[in-house]
Amino acid sequence: MSSIQALRRAIAAGACTIALFAAPATAAPPAPTPPVAVGHVLPDVVMAGLNGPGKSLSSYRGRPLIINMWASWCSPCRKEAASLERLAWSEAGSRYTVIGISNDDSRNAALQWVRQSNATISHYIDTGPRWTLEHMLGASSIPLTVLVDAKGRVVARFQGAREWDSAESIRLIERAFAGAGRPVPVR
């Protein structure tokens, strides 16, 4: 091998080495945290308030909790919101605390809808880029309603809108809480 060929190989090898170390590292973004499984305790998260102060999720322990994930642009979410309000103020609903969590990209859009709807239950907002509550609760689509027992354990998840103050939904809620600890599938 001539000295010119050896020099070319050395330059090529050096160029490849430089390219390898100079290229920006492109690690895949971290995978979203999987949802908390039914029967497991939700971790504590401080939620940013929309129509009141921020509050930690664990501060709701001691009483069964109904969490509704929604967004201002989601028509089914907007339609079911009134039924959640009625449930919260009904005799049947008095056994539970009902809260809403928006996953709007815009805090202003969420706040505007909360004001427009005259919401009286506490509403919070989950924000990007992490969307902690969305991932933790398993809100791959909305609306999503998650039932959490007094100890903070997920009891059930319900996908899609429903009339939460209807007799059928109240029975569904009561059965889910009565069977707490047994897996209840996503509906």
* Torsion sign, CA atoms 35, 38, 43, 47: positive
Whose tokens are 């501060």? That residue is: 59
- Domain positions in the chain: 35-178
Mean pLDDT of 33-56: 92
Q: How confident is the model at residue 9 (pLDDT cuts 50, 70, 90)?
A: low
CB atoms inside a 10 Å sphere around CB 1: 7
Q: What is the pLDDT of residues 160-182, one digit of tens each?
A: 999 999 999 999 999 999 987 55
Element (H, E) at 144: strand 144-148
139 backbone dihedrals φ, ψ, rounded to 5° = -85, 70
Whether residue 24 is predicted with pLDDT greater than 80 in this model: the reply is no
Mean pLDDT of 102-129: 93
Write the burial class of residue 115 (CB in 10 Å: 0-12 exposed, 13-18 middle, 19+ buried): exposed
Q: How confident is the model at residue 4 (pLDDT cuts 50, 70, 90)?
A: low
Q: How confident is the model at residue 1 (pLDDT cuts 50, 70, 90)?
A: low
* Torsion sign, CA atoms 28, 46, 66, 143: negative
Query: Around 76, how many Cα atoms within 13 Å sit in the side-chain half-sphere?
Result: 13
Please give the pLDDT value at position 127: 82
Is 3.40.30.10 the CATH classification of the domain at 35-178? Answer: yes
